Structure 1
Amino acid sequence: MKIVPTQSSPFVIATRESRLAMWQAEHVQALLRNAGYSIELLGMTTKGDQILDRTLAKVGGKGLFVKELELALEEGRADLAVHSLKDVPMELPAGFELACVMEREDPRDAFVSPHHATLADLPQGAVVGTSSLRRQVLLQALRPDLKIEPLRGNLDTRLRKLDEGQYAAIVLAAAGLKRLGLEDRIRHAFEPGEMLPSAGQGALGIEIRAGRDDLKQALAPLAHTPTWLTVTAERAVSRAMGGSCSVPLAAHGRWSGNTLRIDAAWGDVEGKTSLIRATAESDGVSDLASADALGVAVAAKLKAAGARVSTAS
């Protein structure tokens, strides 16, 4: 016999209104409804969705995608917010917490182009679109001749700009394309050895106000411990290096049996220094604290090798 949870009122999920964000919120909504909860959605437009003529590093960082959602939580208009974890700042405001990290989708970056199968096939000096400093430095390391141009907007807008001929190719997160059924747009998925993903890429995180034990109980079955430990270590690397989108930083973890390995890379957007890489692994990562410690250890190796910590807010 299925036990139906008791609720005084429906739980409300705050979400951005882009097609991908709505898919993610509706995915969580369906899982919670299947568990017997009443769930409603609150669609919102964030400043990150509105400011499209400048890179995130120049207008306030990834927090622009979550601040309005957090305000809805604070004011009681919503109970939880579903985020692409790579868009969540490394430090949450006081009174908020990450209550659940779900099983990760493909964490890799995707090469998308209408006429070229791989990055190596692009002609000399071709224009590639991305507004990620991480992708910029990694692309420059692979192909110094390419011209990297800013690319903002939601996933559909970015694909439209590519199809209009503004770029020879663009680089996107494979997870978003797969979630929206656009996997056929992926010409090549970069393996981590080619292009190391960003911290949290491919994972969904659910944010709540601290102290909501009812929500923690509801979300517990959705959590995926291996993913949660992995992204905690990745985010610890980013936090230790300054934790903002102005940091050209990659951090990616993977499990081999009981051993978690974290690889990281830091680059100079001006191209004055080569990529700095670091790695560390541990078979003792069993909780969030030990995962965090592993990430801090990797960051220490980056710093020792010459990587600079960002002072940007």
Structure 2
Amino acid sequence: MCGIVGLHLRNPELYPRLGEMLADMLGEMQDRGADSAGVAVYGDPTWTPAGHGAVSLLELDLPAAEVATAIGTSLGSLVDVRLLDATLLVTAPVTSEALLAAARSAFPDALVAGFGVDLAVLKGVGAPRDLARDWCLAGAQGWQGVGHTRMATESAVTPSGAHPYAVGPEQCLVHNGSFSNHATIRRELRAAGIEFDSENDTEVGARFVAKALADSKDVEVALKELCATFDGFYTLLVSNRDSFAVVRDTIACKPAVIAETDDWVAMASEYRALAGLPGVENARIWEPEPEVVYAWTR
């Protein structure tokens, strides 16, 4: 079934409360997906210090200190690694591309859950409220966050299967629904040189959008092309460092609601996740129309 939440802050005075609000929103979606969850937080100075690249790694059963030594040796720079439930969050005072290359050199079998500047991607198995507590999500700061609660129906319950799928620099995609022609599109993307980490249909959508953005298309064009290419039923939330966008398929059978004030823009699979946001009583609230791309830029 799955649940999506997203929060894009316009008022810098709210940045210190991003994690608190996102944790509450994620918890309200636990009934929609109770087996695993993931979040992406943009701009927390503790998790991702200014000027530092960041890489989130999964499927590494090693102490954080050992991971830091191995990647630091490959990079030739000091590296900080912290274990947050199943995610190893790696940061260093270098570009995210350089850090990513060093991490892949040191641990070629590790799964990269996300990378970029100002971006921490965390995933885990368990009840979303428990994961938010274990991550200390309520203490996070920043200007934007997205989250997903998962009810696995087509693949194993693992951290790697949790959303968001973050396959491009600072890019994240969360998905509620199903793509019916993802196998065909995966073959086409592989023929174009795109590599995949899983057989999950959501990763196909994420790779499709990441390729479009890498080809210098903006997120609205990327999502319009996705709607024209993918069959199925879905609600998608796509974010990068400075933008936040929502789209539904032509049938729009998966639930979604958007709320907007002068201080923030938020979306969720159900209104209950928005009900606790400050000033929501004065928000403009609506259900997104089918195949209409709603996008906001910082």
TM-score, normalised with respect to structure 1: 0.27
Report the structure number with the largest CA radius of gyration.
1
TM-score, normalised with respect to structure 2: 0.28
Q: Which has the larger strand fraction?
A: 2
